[in-house]
Structure 1
Amino acid sequence: MTLGIIAVLVLVLLFTSFFTVKQQSSAIVERFGKFHSIRESGLHLKIPIVDKISGVLNLRIQQLDVIIETKTKDNVFVKMKVSVQFKVIKEKVYDAFYKLEYPHDQITSYVFDVVRAEVPKLKLDDVFERKDDIAIAVKRELNEAMTTYGYDIINTLITDIDPDIQVKNAMNRINAADREKTAAEYEAEASKIRIVAKARAEAESKRLQGQGIADQRREIARGLVESVDVLNKVGINSQEASALIVVTQHYDTLQAIGADTNSNLILLPNSPQAGVDMLSSMVASFAASSQIGESIQSGKSKPKKPSKGESDHDYTESV
């Protein structure tokens, strides 16, 4: 019975003498409450009852997310999320275990201190633009403080900036109005380009149309001259040739109107005398115009009034 109990005790002491440490971890061994050694990953031996594992530190990179509410220079309250990536320095496991009891709280305090010192110097728009500068300032301050306690700050990231909901809505309205303004400017510019292009096209069309009409009339006049010359060669004088051309054009016009199915009803004289009448009217109008011009020219030289030595009868005869 006694031997069995002794054997069990020996087995218990034997099993409690061995312990393992996981990869990327460090174990702190104390002997009678005093620091004895630091054990790395692997299988280790300790004296039962005498030695005690006081704690195990994780040597892998850890992340702490800190949410801070602060105010900007233009009095806008924002919530910022700062992610701090840190790890225990392998050579300073003793300091990390014994000098600092709550590392997360210590890191959070430094983050609050730096962010609330930097953000109130900036306006809201600058906070978004210079968030990397704020993150660098947080990392620099944390490194200076936490290295003493055996912690290395790998990186600090500002992962979220969340203004007050009313401010956010106002910013969205400003952005929407600005985009609408830009769209209106582009639409106005496009409309201007279309109007200018249309005006230029119409001007060019009218210029070409006028040029075509002028060319047409020039060719018609040249054709009339040639026709009169041909008729003169066969013994027809100019007046008769003109009458013949007018009559021919008169009947050509009637034929063209009759051939057009979309033309409206037009009443024109179609007797053989109609062409002669039109020609006579044209000649009479030309003659009247010529007489009016001669009268205007002769009217410019007015008769003199009678002098004192002349009688009214002499003045009347002179007139």
Structure 2
Amino acid sequence: LNIVPQGEKQVVERLGKLHAVQESGWYLAIPMIDQIAYSIDMRERAIDIMPQAAITGDNVSVDVSGVVYYQFTDAERACYGARNPLYSVRQHAQSAMRAAIGEMELDEILHNRSHLNALVKGTVQEAATAWGIDVKRYEITEILPDRMISQAMDKQAAAERHRREKVLEAEGLKTSATLESEGMKIKLQNESEGRLIQVKNEAEAERVKLTKEAEGESHAMLLKAQAQAESIALIADQLEKPGGEEAAKLALAGQYAEMYGEMGKSSNTMMFNQNPADVNALLAQATVAMQAASKTGKD
């Protein structure tokens, strides 16, 4: 009674000839006749490809290492297709990697590893099928140019970093200047709009002020005119009464005399009527004025 672990297959030979490939589980074998010749691990595994020298398409010497991920899919071919299938896979991967690197330039190898990995995987898979192996993928782990090229690349990388720093610094200054100018533009625009609003408000206030003053003056003139009209009407009414005309004449004569007195106070030069002492003349002039006022009141 024999047991095959999970993930493995056992190749059983009977009298030195392939008899069966047993899957995981148990099976019976005839002692001394059946023999477990090989036990194959069917799980995915990886083998390292040691660093090796290669020449790129632009004549640069590099050391390249990688990893091959594989899985046995056919136990019979794995046992009888090659004496040492893993060694064959390793050697074939190395030769395929050298051939692929020889067709590519260093910059392409450094920046396009996926293409190189695909080339090596495809080449190894073509040969590994006969050995019962499925190549899952190939990964380059390290690419080391020679010392002089490495130094030149370091200098180039340093120069590139310096250039990028300068570019970033220039872009930062440009952005700062742009933001500053935009801020100044917005500030001036806001100030201009503020001044415009202030001027509009001042103009509106002045307009309202002038309107109110004009309305006040108009109202005052209207009140004054109404008062004068009422005064004239009152005088006219009084003139119609008995003795009103004589009283008015006497009042006008008194005011006329007061006028001359005021003129004498305010100026050294005085203008008099032709007969300033003639009371009758003053009364005659007052009568004419009263008659005109009476006529106006009636109108």
Query: So what's the TM-score if we normalise by structure 1?
Result: 0.51
What aligned pairs does 1:1-319 form with structure 2 within 5 A after superposition?
A: 18-67=1-50, 68-89=52-73, 92-184=74-166, 187=169
Identify if the C-alpha distance between structure 1 residues 130 and 182 changes in structure 2 by more than 3 Å, giving closer, same or farther: closer
Identify if the C-alpha distance between structure 1 residues 50 and 74 changes in structure 2 by more than 3 Å, giving closer, same or farther: same
1:171 and 1:41 mapped to 2: Cα distance?
Answer: 53
What amino acid maps onto 2:62 in structure 1?
A: V
Identify if the C-alpha distance between structure 1 residues 191 and 19 changes in structure 2 by more than 3 Å, giving closer, same or farther: closer
What amino acid maps onto 2:58 in structure 1?
A: D
Q: Any unmatched runs of 5+ in structure 2?
A: 185-299
1:189 and 1:62 mapped to 2: Cα distance?
Answer: 50
Hey, which bits of structure 1, 4+ residues long, moved more than 4 A?
185-194
1:223 alignment counterpart:
none
What amino acid maps onto 1:104 in structure 2?
A: L
Kept in 1: contact 2:100–2:120 (CA 8 A): no
2:65 and 2:164 mapped to 1: Cα distance?
Answer: 34
What amino acid maps onto 1:62 in structure 2?
A: R
Q: CA deviation at 1:52?
A: 1.1
Kept in 1: contact 2:12–2:21 (CA 8 A): yes
Q: Any unmatched runs of 5+ in structure 1?
A: 1-17, 202-319
Query: So what's the TM-score if we normalise by structure 2?
Result: 0.54
Q: How many residues align?
A: 184
Percent identity reads 29
Deviations 1:83-130 (A, max 9, x none): 1111111xx321111121111121122212221112122221110122
Structure 1 vs Structure 2 CA RMSD: 3.0
What amino acid maps onto 1:77 in structure 2?
A: S
Identify if the C-alpha distance between structure 1 residues 76 and 50 changes in structure 2 by more than 3 Å, giving closer, same or farther: same
Q: CA deviation at 1:40?
A: 1.3
Per the alignment, in what secondary structure is the counterpart of residue 46 of structure 1?
coil
Per the alignment, in what secondary structure is the counterpart of residue 37 of structure 1?
strand
2:126 and 2:105 mapped to 1: Cα distance?
Answer: 27
